[in-house]
Amino acid sequence: MNAVKPANKAKGTVFVREETCKGCSYCVDFCPTHCLELSPGFNARGYHYPTLARADDCTGCDLCGLYCPDFAIFAVRFRDLEKLRKGRVL
């Protein structure tokens, strides 16, 4: 009997301030689910910025944001996103 692996369901998403990024790749290197990649394109400063390449794997853990020295990226869990939109503190 072959076991079928269930599809991942995204639990969060990532927001990137592309123009703030300096392409250090800490967010990509330390992402525990490996859902980030550096973009093939460049920002205005000439750096590759991160993109959410595998959105279904994102948990919204925000390790990317914790490691970013320039605060150019952060992640949010979907369950907390509505609170942010309404301006409530998490």
Confidence grade of residue 48 (pLDDT, cut at 50, 70, 90)? very high
Q: Indicate the domain borders of the chain.
A: 12-85
pLDDT at 88 over 90: no
At residue 85, the pLDDT reads 80
Query: Which residues contact residue 62 at a Cβ distance below 8 angstroms, ignoring those fewer than 6 apart?
Result: 74, 75, 76
Confidence grade of residue 83 (pLDDT, cut at 50, 70, 90)? confident
Please indicate, yes or no, whether the overall pTM of this predicted structure exceeds 0.85.
no
What six digits make up the tokens of 14?
């990532």
Q: What are the Cα distances from residue 74, in Å, to 2, 3, 6, 30, 62?
A: 38, 35, 27, 13, 6
At residue 81, the pLDDT reads 86
Q: Which fold has domain 12-85?
A: Alpha-Beta Plaits (3.30.70)
pLDDT at 3 over 90: no
Mean predicted confidence (pLDDT) in 60-86: 93
